[in-house]
Amino acid sequence: MKITVICEVLGKANNGTTIAAMNLINHLIKKKYDVKVVCPDVDKKDKENYYVIPVAKFGFLANKILDMNNIVVAKFDRTTIYEAVKDADIVHIMIPIFIAKKTAKLLKELDIPISAGFHAQAENLTAHIGMKNVPLANHLTYKFYYNNLYKYVDGIHYPTQFIRDYFEREMKIKTNGYVISNGVNDLYKVTPSEKPDQFKDKFCILFTGRYSKEKSHMVLFKAIEKSKYKDKIQLICAGDGPLKKKLAKYTAKHLTNMPIFQFFKREELLKIINYCDLYCHPAEIEIEAISCLEAICCGLVPIIANSPRCATKAFALDERSLFKVNDSKDLAQKIDYFIEHPEEKMKLRQKYLENSKSFNQEHCMEQMEQMFFDIIKKHNEEKHEKN
């Protein structure tokens, strides 16, 4: 199979879309497929099978927002993209934003099958303009997604059934969708890891996620403030993002123990997950939250926001792992329960570890392969029928 992956946003592996793209690309290369990648990253210019397109500029304010999020966005370059896709059996487009429509139309001209990823909720965009809770703004964003890409493609990859149902309900359509988790790397497993000396007497809580509004860090901070054990809790917020200074400023004033705000390399993160005592995921908006699954695979029991706009709640095995969305008091009570009942936490830990086996990344990537073959076959059958 010859496959081209269009990554109009790639860059650093500090967001779910980039990580999903690189996992897919690396898997396909490992399986000896002919893989080409289109992206705007100048550091990939001389790398084999990478086709680098220009960086888009949108004006001072938009560029500032993108810079704050460490995101580089592509500009459509027909000549370069044509070279990357002309011999492809299928082209997979990661996101439905700036170059998606023109790329899809080019592929239609060339009669090449198209698949597309669904890695961004509307709120991931509208949160940047203060409109994540405006239904009309979110609906129009989903409509833009559809008109800009999804109506042109032969199949859509949804990481969760939640986001497929949500999008189809918004658009009042049935799509040719494939629900496949992005999967968890085999490296995320239970491994002996000692707490650092400064945390030996602390109850360590982990949250991994971008420092952005929809991740709802403040709910977790306020829950720790309300906990009976606030003096004992050490919070680690693994990630990066535009709100880092604001979050650090708040916690310096309100929490007894200053949280750790840092983006960790995988090896460091694995050690941290394995020495932490609990994982909290307060995000109100989330398509899948692989970070939560990674924590579960390493033996951490999670507490997850029971949000109607968050897929992560589906990972909870019982009510003790769910709290009322944006309710810091309820989250504090759930945290206190697990601090006070370590034996119950250990029982739940075993259940989560057993359940986590279905999210093996290798298995998920094999499902992605099969999706590509299915789409190619269906596309060719439809072409044959027309002829």
Q: Give the model confidence (pLDDT) of 170-190 as tens digits.
A: 999 999 999 999 999 889 999
Confidence of residue 11 (pLDDT cuts 50, 70, 90): low
pLDDT reported for residue 46: 87
Average pLDDT over residues 245-272: 95
Q: How many CB atoms lie within 10 A of CB 170?
A: 17
DSSP string of 257-276, one letter each residue? SPPEEE---HHHHHHHHHH-
pLDDT of residue 357 exceeding 90: no
Residues 6+ apart with CB under 8 A from 56: 40, 73, 74, 75, 98
pLDDT reported for residue 61: 66
Residues 6+ apart with CB under 8 A from 96: 116, 144, 145, 146, 148, 149, 150
DSSP state of 69: T
Confidence of residue 19 (pLDDT cuts 50, 70, 90): confident
Cα→Cα distances 369→33, 37, 39, Å:
10, 16, 21
pLDDT of residue 21 exceeding 80: yes
CA 303/CA 203 separation, integer angstroms: 15
pLDDT of residue 372 exceeding 80: yes
Q: Mean pLDDT for the chain?
A: 92
pLDDT reported for residue 57: 77
pLDDT reported for residue 73: 73
User: 216 in helix, strand or coil?
Assistant: coil
CA 5/CA 20 separation, integer angstroms: 12
pLDDT reported for residue 113: 98
pLDDT reported for residue 16: 73
The region of weakest confidence among 91-105, 122-136, 218-232 is 122-136
Helices and strands: H and E segment counts in the chain: 14, 13
pLDDT of residue 387 exceeding 80: no
pLDDT of residue 208 exceeding 70: yes
> Mind listing the pLDDT tens digit for each residue in 121-171?
998 888 878 898 899 999 999 999 999 999 999 999 999 999 999 999 999
**Among the CATH numbers 3.30.1360.120, 3.40.630.40, 3.40.50.2000, 3.50.50.60, which is that of 2-183+360-386?**
3.40.50.2000
Confidence of residue 214 (pLDDT cuts 50, 70, 90): confident
> Mind listing the pLDDT tens digit for each residue in 320-343?
999 999 999 999 999 999 999 999
Residues of the chain with CATH 3.40.50.2000: 2-183+360-386, 197-357
And the tokens for 239?
């990630």
pLDDT of residue 13 exceeding 70: no
The region of weakest confidence among 68-82, 270-284, 316-330 is 68-82
Bridge pairing between strands 322-324 and 302-306: parallel
pLDDT reported for residue 225: 97
pLDDT reported for residue 42: 87
Strands (DSSP E) along the chain, which ranges? 2-6, 34-39, 50-52, 90-93, 114-117, 155-158, 177-179, 203-208, 233-238, 260-262, 278-281, 302-306, 322-324
Q: Does domain 197-357 have CATH number 3.40.980.10?
A: no
> Mind listing the pLDDT tens digit for each residue in 289-310?
889 999 999 999 999 999 999 9
pLDDT of residue 62 exceeding 70: no
